[in-house]
């Protein structure tokens, strides 16, 4: 029996079409199936319950007469061999069959979607939970090539050429993919490519985080400073360093199950630490001389762009990723060196010329988070810290009786605080072989109380206007009843190294 569908509007017949009532069954490969890696050909086959002629095509809605005829057809079984298949690729075929006894009796499309596994995915990543290629979607369904966790696409989503095959393009207006199944962002590793159509992060004007993934209380987003942030119930549990995610530049992001963030580019570079200058870089350069400058290249992705500003300074390319900073006879003040990598990371270092002077900029904190030298003087503590072209001085008054000892008679101790200034009050021994080992020594902060700081400790007290990053590394205090008055006015001085006025 044939069925007729009539669409009526204002008593006018707009469309009449005929479709077959005989089924197409036993589609092989079955729809949404996954074939082993290394598969280069497969048999495409269907069955009908009446004698029929069947054809296939790789897009839907094709006219039956223009589709490809199965190699073996005209009865109940219909098949052809599909060749040229490749690993990590998805394939779609649409089948229609025509009644052998009635040429107008033609079925609708029957869809066959299958995927060829990638070798590495199949044999090296056996604990993979899901893999979405974003190469294509059918009827707003996104396919997981493992055949487990399919997703539903909402909003205006299209496909564009990407790093590997195609990628999905979201319009940014309520467009998202809802993936069902046993996927938990909280304790799983996830990696993805992203190519933004606008700048994000530092200097971009971004005013709010942009959410990329969400699973219950867990979400992954681009923060306003360009960090890739993973949050659980609003609390940050992982994040990359600040940076800039540049329009039309592809980034590879990976967050592992230990909440470590990696980021890279489309050339295969992948890093987990922030770009920085080498600790061996000199802090000064004499006039009419040169020094080598280097960065920690393992923490950045090439190419690296170096620039320098300042009176009498210039850069030229060196070897092994280094550059040569030269100061001519007129050089004075400080050289500002900036390095930008392909990921948009920007780092800055200042190198002082031997010609110049410290210019007082004001009685405020201009240098936070530094390590300071401590000089006891009567009932005062003088603190002096210098980084590049910046110097901070603070003078503290302390109350009570204090005794201090350098770890070696007449010398400063090596660093005897903990690796984090926020844990510097923890009792530790000083350097091996020092006389301080004879004492029970508390290596304490030079401000606040020894067991409470404002660096995340409950009930903390921090009297340092430059922040709890400031700490004294060179004296081991072995009495722990103390208090310090907060510096103010002329007791707090900030300088910069400049050419003489």
Confidence label for 370 from pLDDT (cuts 50, 70 and 90):
low
Q: Is the pLDDT of residue 435 over 60?
A: no
What CATH code is carried by the domain that includes residue 307?
2.60.40.10
Confidence label for 425 from pLDDT (cuts 50, 70 and 90):
very low
Q: Could you report the per-residue pLDDT of 453-494, keeping only the tens digit for each?
A: 333 333 334 455 665 444 443 333 322 334 455 566 667 889
Q: Could you report the per-residue pLDDT of 10-36, keeping only the tens digit for each?
A: 222 233 334 456 889 999 998 878 888
What CATH code is carried by the domain that includes residue 70?
2.60.40.1220
* Residue 140 contacts residue 120 (beta carbons within 8 Å): no
SS3 421: helix
SS (H, E, C) 160-215: EECCCCEEEEECCCCCEEEECCCCCHHHCCEEEEECCCCCEECCCCCCCCEEEEEE
Q: What value does the mean pLDDT take over residues 391-404?
A: 58
Q: Is the pLDDT of residue 166 over 90?
A: no
Strands (E), 208-299: 210-215, 218-222, 228-232, 235-239, 244-245, 251-255, 261-265, 270-271, 284-285, 289-293
Q: Is the pLDDT of residue 397 over 90?
A: no
Q: Is the pLDDT of residue 407 over 60?
A: no
**What would the two tokens of residue 159 be?**
């496909």
Between 178 and 410, the higher pLDDT residue: 178
Q: Which of 355, 379, 402 is the last residue of a domain?
A: 355
Given this model, what pLDDT does residue 151 score?
A: 81
Q: Which of 355, 377, 398 is the last residue of a domain?
A: 355
Between 495 and 454, the higher pLDDT residue: 495
Count Cβ neighbours within 10 Å for each residue of 397-408 and write b for 16 or more, e otherwise: ebeeeeeebbbe
Q: What value does the mean pLDDT take over residues 405-412?
A: 34
Q: Is the pLDDT of residue 260 over 70?
A: yes
Would 259 be classed as within a structural domain? yes
Q: Could you report the per-residue pLDDT of 345-354, keeping only the tens digit for each?
A: 889 999 999 9
Given this model, what pLDDT does residue 322 score?
A: 87
* Residue 100 contacts residue 52 (beta carbons within 8 Å): yes
Q: Is the pLDDT of residue 423 over 90?
A: no
Q: What value does the mean pLDDT take over residues 281-299?
A: 92
For residues 101 and 31, membership in a common domain is answered with yes
For residues 112 and 25, membership in a common domain is answered with yes
For residues 351 and 452, membership in a common domain is answered with no
Given this model, what pLDDT does residue 353 score?
A: 97
| pLDDT-wise least confident of 40-49, 148-157, 273-282, 293-302 | 148-157
Would 320 be classed as within a structural domain? yes
Would 277 be classed as within a structural domain? no
- Measure CA 221 to chain center: 9
For residues 256 and 141, membership in a common domain is answered with yes
Q: What value does the mean pLDDT take over residues 420-444?
A: 32
Q: Is the pLDDT of residue 439 over 60?
A: no
Closest CA to 388 of 403, 408, 366: 366
For residues 264 and 188, membership in a common domain is answered with yes
For residues 309 and 214, membership in a common domain is answered with no
Q: Could you report the per-residue pLDDT of 172-218, keeping only the tens digit for each?
A: 777 888 876 667 777 778 888 888 888 988 888 899 888 888 877 88
Would 106 be classed as within a structural domain? yes
Q: Could you report the per-residue pLDDT of 60-116, keeping only the tens digit for each?
A: 999 999 999 999 998 899 999 999 998 878 888 999 999 999 999 999 999 998 888
Between 180 and 253, the higher pLDDT residue: 253
For residues 333 and 369, membership in a common domain is answered with no
Would 341 be classed as within a structural domain? yes
Q: Which of 271, 303, 333 is the last residue of a domain?
A: 271
For residues 293 and 394, membership in a common domain is answered with no
Would 127 be classed as within a structural domain? no
Neighbours of 448 (CB within 10 A): 23
Given this model, what pLDDT does residue 465 score?
A: 63
Neighbours of 323 (CB within 10 A): 20
Whole-angstrom distance, CA of residue 108 vs CA of residue 398: 88
Q: Kindly write down the DSSP assignment for every residue of 429-495, as one continuous string.
A: --STTSGGGGS--B---SSSBTTB-TTT-TT-----TT-TT-EE-S-EE-----EEEPP-GGGEEEE
Q: What value does the mean pLDDT take over residues 323-335?
A: 96
For residues 225 and 138, membership in a common domain is answered with yes
Whole-angstrom distance, CA of residue 280 vs CA of residue 190: 36
Given this model, what pLDDT does residue 48 score?
A: 94
Whole-angstrom distance, CA of residue 67 vs CA of residue 59: 10
Please state the pTM of the whole predicted model. 0.59
For residues 171 and 263, membership in a common domain is answered with yes
For residues 366 and 488, membership in a common domain is answered with yes
Confidence label for 158 from pLDDT (cuts 50, 70 and 90):
confident
* Residue 264 contacts residue 251 (beta carbons within 8 Å): yes
For residues 11 and 93, membership in a common domain is answered with yes
Number of domains within the chain: 4
Q: Which residue segment(s) compose the domain that 300 sits in?
A: 284-355
Whole-angstrom distance, CA of residue 477 vs CA of residue 471: 13
Which H/E stretch holds residue 120? helix 119-123
Given this model, what pLDDT does residue 495 score?
A: 94
| pLDDT-wise least confident of 209-218, 244-253, 279-288, 486-495 | 486-495
Q: Could you report the per-residue pLDDT of 209-231, keeping only the tens digit for each?
A: 888 888 778 888 889 888 888 88
């Amino acid at each position: 029996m044939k069925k007729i569908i009539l669409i009526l509007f204002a008593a006018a017949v707009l469309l009449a079409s005929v479709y077959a009532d005989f089924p197409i069954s036993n589609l092989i490969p079955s729809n949404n199936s996954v074939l082993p890696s290394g598969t280069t050909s497969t048999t495409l086959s269907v069955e009908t319950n009446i004698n029929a002629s069947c054809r296939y095509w790789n897009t839907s809605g094709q006219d039956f007469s223009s589709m490809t005829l199965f190699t073996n057809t005209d009865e109940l079984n219909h098949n052809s061999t599909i060749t040229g298949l490749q690993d990590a690729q998805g394939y779609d075929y649409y089948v229609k069959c025509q009644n052998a006894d009635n040429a107008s009796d033609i079925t609708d499309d029957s869809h066959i979607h299958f995927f060829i596994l990638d070798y590495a995915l199949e044999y090296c990543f056996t604990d993979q939970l899901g893999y979405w290629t974003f190469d294509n979607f059918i009827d707003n369904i996104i396919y997981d090539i493992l055949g487990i966790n399919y997703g539903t696409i909402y909003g205006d989503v299209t496909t564009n050429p990407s790093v590997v095959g195609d990628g999905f393009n979201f319009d940014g207006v309520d467009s998202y993919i809802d993936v069902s199944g046993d996927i938990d962002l909280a304790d799983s590793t996830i990696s993805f490519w992203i190519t933004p159509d606008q700048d994000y992060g530092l200097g971009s004007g971004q005013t709010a985080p942009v959410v990329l993934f969400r699973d219950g209380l867990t979400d992954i987003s681009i923060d306003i400073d360009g960090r890739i942030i993973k949050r659980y119930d609003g609390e940050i549990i992982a994040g990359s360093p600040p940076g800039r995610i540049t329009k039309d530049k592809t980034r590879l992001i990976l967050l592992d199950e230990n909440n470590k963030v990696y980021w890279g580019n489309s050339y295969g570079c992948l890093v987990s630490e922030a770009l920085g200058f080498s600790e061996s870089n000199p802090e000064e350069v004499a006039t009419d001389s040169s020094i080598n400058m280097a960065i920690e290249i393992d923490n950045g992705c090439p190419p690296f762009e170096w620039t320098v500003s300042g009176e009498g300074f210039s850069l030229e390319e060196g070897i092994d990723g280094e550059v040569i900073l030269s100061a001519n006879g007129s050089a004075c003040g400080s050289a500002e060196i900036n390095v930008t990598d392909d990921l948009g990371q920007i780092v800055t270092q200042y190198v002082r010329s031997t010609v110049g002077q410290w210019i007082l900029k004001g009685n405020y904190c201009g240098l936070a988070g530094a390590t300071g030298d401590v000089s006891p003087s009567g009932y005062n503590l003088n603190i002096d810290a210098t980084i590049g072209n910046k110097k901070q001085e603070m003078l503290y008054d302390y109350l009570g009786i204090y005794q201090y000892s350098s770890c070696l008679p007449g010398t400063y101790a090596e660093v005897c605080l903990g690796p984090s200034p926020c844990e510097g009050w923890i009792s530790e021994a000083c350097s091996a072989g020092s006389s301080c080992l004879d004492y029970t020594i508390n290596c304490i902060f030079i401000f606040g109380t020894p067991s409470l700081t404002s660096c995340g400790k409950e009930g903390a007290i921090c009297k340092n206007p430059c922040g709890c990053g400031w700490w004294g590394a060179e004296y081991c205090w072995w009495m722990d009843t103390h208090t310090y008055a907060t510096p103010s006015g002329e007791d707090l001085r900030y300088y910069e190294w400049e050419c003489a006025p």
